[in-house]
Structure 1
């Protein structure tokens, strides 16, 4: 069974894995301003596909619910129609999704979803930005997939790599996000994405969360430049938003 990914925009992608249609961080609103506490975040690019274009999904993996660049109005509607959404305990308390603490797992068909640590900014940022989670997807005969969520910590990436020594596909959220609320980046920059790929020994990398909002300070061009300078540009999956791309199968010994 072929694994495919369709990048929709921002952090949103449709992953077809093990017979499941899995949606990451649903964002489907058109361009415009989005209130986020004391800030207003401005979306500049709409999604490549509408919710109707995507159709039904089996599972939503939500890194966090509190920021509109990871979950917006139409994304919430899309999520509410899905039979299962996995996210943080804070998100579960607010919006009624199924919570996973770090290293807990939930089996959906052939796919085991394990929540993994993530930190949405520099150390100590949690009281301001709230909880965020990443995910690792595994299953017999399936590629191992890491979905970083809005993680800015390479230390956590190294910890995850120690638990999952085989990572076939890494969906890395980047953009080097900055806001006035935090002194430091809230997500990985392009060089850190490259380092994360090395730590994970990833065979394929799909950069997400690198376009479409004014508070993103880097884009896909920066990602390609960082990977090319390191001689790792062959790891980057080439895609056109809205069009599915086939990904690799599991490496020998992957579980």
Structure 2
């Protein structure tokens, strides 16, 4: 396990599972923190711990939680980590359950975070996500599986970064692309997560071909895949993602490095 992550000017690293660290605008941002070691989590099983633990991540300015209902996106140590952050942005239902410092954002609403580099604000736009097949049964709150929130990060002089959360819907991706036409980097939760008891075992997140389709629809210059390893219910790994991008002629968009190493972000 790597012991530390020096601050970067504008870069991202995936730590395993859905968890990524994004440094931009002088801020350190962590997405869907999962820091537990391998082991059972109810009906899910974690197969590998993170490349860098919470101590190695160091002080954080903002945590983004796509959803707190499933431990593969917010496990026990991830919850403890988020609770000590200055600010957590998530969906409205998740914010009520998590409590302070969580702030709930409905889709297409914005929260501004002062940047530490003096460049004004980092704008965080909440965007929708569908955690399963489009025709899946909806719960009492109108969500498929549960409430999930994606995020678009932007600011003066910064690249625009889309973090998908556990979204399986290309229709949603198309709507995001229509409303935010200039996405530079897409962090896509892939892995084709499957739970036999849910929706007949159909994918709850993007498979490789879905991720390639999402990249094409978004028109992003850079795609950083996440959420494809570290948990036993992920049915596709990096090789399937790479093959799908190769077959689609989009290999040049993929940026894959060893977990805990940085990918530079550019406009």
- Give the TM-score normalised by the residue count of structure 2: 0.89
Q: Please say if 1:99 is aligned against 2:110.
A: no
Give the equivalent residue in structure 2 for 1:161: 177
User: 68, 72, 78: which is aligned to 1:69?
Assistant: 72
Q: For the residues of structure 1 that align with 2:138 and 2:58, how far apart are their CA atoms?
A: 34
Checking the alignment, whether the CA contact within 8 Å between 2:129 and 2:149 is kept in structure 1 is: yes
Give the equivalent residue in structure 1 for 2:117: none
| Residues matched between the structures, number | 245
Checking the alignment, whether the CA contact within 8 Å between 1:167 and 1:201 is kept in structure 2 is: yes
Shift of 1:125: 4.0
Give the equivalent residue in structure 2 for 1:15: 22
Q: For the residues of structure 1 that align with 2:72 and 2:209, how far apart are their CA atoms?
A: 22
Q: For the residues of structure 1 that align with 2:60 and 2:264, how far apart are their CA atoms?
A: 18
Give the equivalent residue in structure 2 for 1:253: none
Segments of structure 1 that go 5 or more residues without pairing to the other structure are 251-255
Local SS of the residue matching 1:188 = coil
Q: For the residues of structure 2 that align with 1:27 and 1:173, how far apart are their CA atoms?
A: 14
Alignment RMSD, CA only? 1.2
Equivalent positions of 1:112-191 (< 5 A) are 112-123=123-134, 124-127=136-139, 129-183=145-199, 184-191=202-209
Q: For the residues of structure 2 that align with 1:41 and 1:191, how far apart are their CA atoms?
A: 24
User: 234, 238, 241: which is aligned to 1:216?
Assistant: 234
User: 224, 241, 254: which is aligned to 1:206?
Assistant: 224
- Give the TM-score normalised by the residue count of structure 1: 0.93
Local SS of the residue matching 1:5 = strand
Q: For the residues of structure 2 that align with 1:245 and 1:48, how far apart are their CA atoms?
A: 15
Checking the alignment, whether the CA contact within 8 Å between 1:120 and 1:151 is kept in structure 2 is: yes
Q: For the residues of structure 2 that align with 1:126 and 1:178, how far apart are their CA atoms?
A: 17
Local SS of the residue matching 1:129 = coil
Segments of structure 2 that go 5 or more residues without pairing to the other structure are 1-7, 115-120
Give a deviation string over 1:28-51, Cα, whole Å, max 9, x none.
00000001xxxx101111100010
Moved more, 202-211 or 237-246: 237-246
Shift of 1:244: 2.1
Shift of 1:231: 1.4
Local SS of the residue matching 1:28 = coil
Shift of 1:129: 2.1
Local SS of the residue matching 1:70 = coil
Shift of 1:141: 1.0
Q: For the residues of structure 2 that align with 1:108 and 1:171, how far apart are their CA atoms?
A: 20
Equivalent positions of 1:81-100 (< 5 A) are 81-96=84-99, 97-100=102-105
